[in-house]
Amino acid sequence: MLPFRATAVLSVYFLASFAAATPSPLDARASGTCTLTSSGSDDAPAFLKAVADSSCSTVAIPAGTTLSIQSKLNMTGTLDKHINVQGTVKFNPDIDYWTDNSFSFDFQDQAAFWLLGGKNIVLDGGGTLDGSGQAWYDEFAKHSSTVRPILFTIFQATNVTVQNIRMINGPEWINFVNEGQDITFRNISISAVSTSKNAAKNTDGWDIFRSDNVVIADSNIDNGDDCVSFKPNATNILVSNLSCNGSHGISVGSLGQYAGEYDIVQNVLATNIRMSNAQNGARIKAWAGKGVGAGLVKNITFDGFVESNVDNPVVIDQCYMTSADDCAKYPSNTYIQDVWFNK
């Protein structure tokens, strides 16, 4: 059944001279700002150390500095932290390393470079997160079993704001919000575009999973899959003022993929969305077939979509990834109700 209705932080810079003769990659002082510099090798240990240090209320990566990340970043359990990225955090495309060492999630066989979790965290600064995706797009074209890491993952977090950041060349999903509460993204600029013949596939802008009260606003996205996707148990979500280019749309789902699981997407408002050169505009996708899961999609509003060159402006697909025969025999167990499309 598809009922339709028309319708300052104060940065403290210390001027004291260096105590050590050799410059340390981490200039950490008693309290306040700890400034990272590039070491010429793996900068992940210094970045982890600064974020874990409660005396560094701000961890700064200055403009002009590129941190080379050559090992995974587990920043779960971070408290009261300002990560001020004015420069660049760049993930080294060592495919063998990440294949063996990235964080992994059972959900849709995802992997991640970086987990940021905990409480009361701001990540901002006008700088860039760079996933070095080209090597991954080319590798994936040769070996489709290659698991490409997500660029940025918020995991088990409450009260996190990410703003004024560019995210470029993500190998796969750009942002994953997994078990988050009260999470806000503002003024994010995403670009995941291949320069070879191999497309930047599965480069979703945001995937929201098992998370509540998430805001994504005022952002530009140029990518090759969903602009924003509401995965199982994404609730109370506001998406507003986005320009999505080249994407697969703003999507609920896919839901009902896994046997025995119950997937809820409820209370979503997506408003003021400019969708260009896209496969879809507003989309809901749920699996059918023998042995799939179940779910509920309820109270979803797509408001003020301006679409240009979009193949399917509105899609409701309850036979997602399912043949017509199987879908007829084993229809979707995901119920969809109270969906509004407003001009």
Catalytic site residues? Answer: 248
CB of 159 to ligand NAG, least distance (A): 4
Phi, psi for 88 (deg, rounded to 5): -130, 140
Peptide bond into 71 cis (omega under 30): no
Extract the tokens encoding 13. 């810079």
The answer to whether 84 and 121 are in contact (CB under 8 A) is no
The Cα 154–Cα 178 span in angstroms is 6
| Interface pattern 86-125 for ligand NAG (x via CB under 6 A) | -----------------x----------------x-x---
CA dihedral for 200, 201, 204, 208, sign (positive or negative): negative
Phi, psi for 48 (deg, rounded to 5): -60, -45
Is 286 among the residues that bind ligand NAG (CB under 6 A)? no
CA dihedral for 153, 254, 298, 275, sign (positive or negative): positive
Taking CB under 6 A as the binding criterion, the range among 136-144, 167-175, 197-205, 212-220 that sits at the site for ligand NAG is 212-220
CB of 276 to ligand NAG, least distance (A): 6
Q: Which of residues 293 and 323 has its CB atom nearest to ligand NAG in the complex? A: 293
The Cα 50–Cα 156 span in angstroms is 20
The Cα 182–Cα 193 span in angstroms is 30
By CB under 6 A, name the one of 27, 43, 130, 222 that touches ligand NAG. Answer: 222
Block residue for tokens 């996190």: 160
Kindly identify the residues of this chain, within the stretch 293-312, that bind ligand NAG according to CB under 6 A. 299, 301
The Cα 110–Cα 206 span in angstroms is 13
DSSP single-letter state for residue 246: S
By CB under 6 A, name the one of 87, 171, 232, 281 that touches ligand NAG. Answer: 232
Taking CB under 6 A as the binding criterion, the range among 15-23, 131-139, 173-181, 259-267 that sits at the site for ligand NAG is 259-267
Is 184 among the residues that bind ligand NAG (CB under 6 A)? no
User: How far is Cα of residue 119 from the mean position of the Cα atoms in its chain?
Assistant: 18
Instruction: Give the three-state DSSP class for 252.
Output: strand
By CB under 6 A, name the one of 53, 138, 139, 218 that touches ligand NAG. Answer: 218
Q: Which of residues 68 and 159 has its CB atom nearest to ligand NAG in the complex? A: 159
Taking CB under 6 A as the binding criterion, the range among 21-29, 32-40, 70-78, 91-99 that sits at the site for ligand NAG is 70-78
Is 281 among the residues that bind ligand NAG (CB under 6 A)? no
End-to-end CA distance of the chain: give it in Å, rounded: 23
By CB under 6 A, name the one of 31, 57, 76, 184 that touches ligand NAG. Answer: 76
Give the dihedral of Cα atoms 13, 16, 20, 21; nearest 10 deg: 110
By CB under 6 A, name the one of 277, 312, 313, 331 that touches ligand NAG. Answer: 277
Kindly identify the residues of this chain, within the stretch 148-167, that bind ligand NAG according to CB under 6 A. 159, 164-166
Total residues interacting with ligand NAG, rule: CB under 6 A: 34
The answer to whether 213 and 182 are in contact (CB under 8 A) is yes
Q: Smallest Cα–Cα separation from 65: which of 4, 155, 153, 125?
A: 125
By CB under 6 A, name the one of 233, 280, 332, 333 that touches ligand NAG. Answer: 233
Q: Which of residues 269 and 324 has its CB atom nearest to ligand NAG in the complex? A: 269
Interface ranges with ligand NAG (CB under 6 A): 74, 76-77, 80, 103, 120, 122, 126, 159, 164-166, 187, 189, 210, 218-220, 222, 232-233, 241, 245-246, 261-264, 267-269, 277, 299, 301
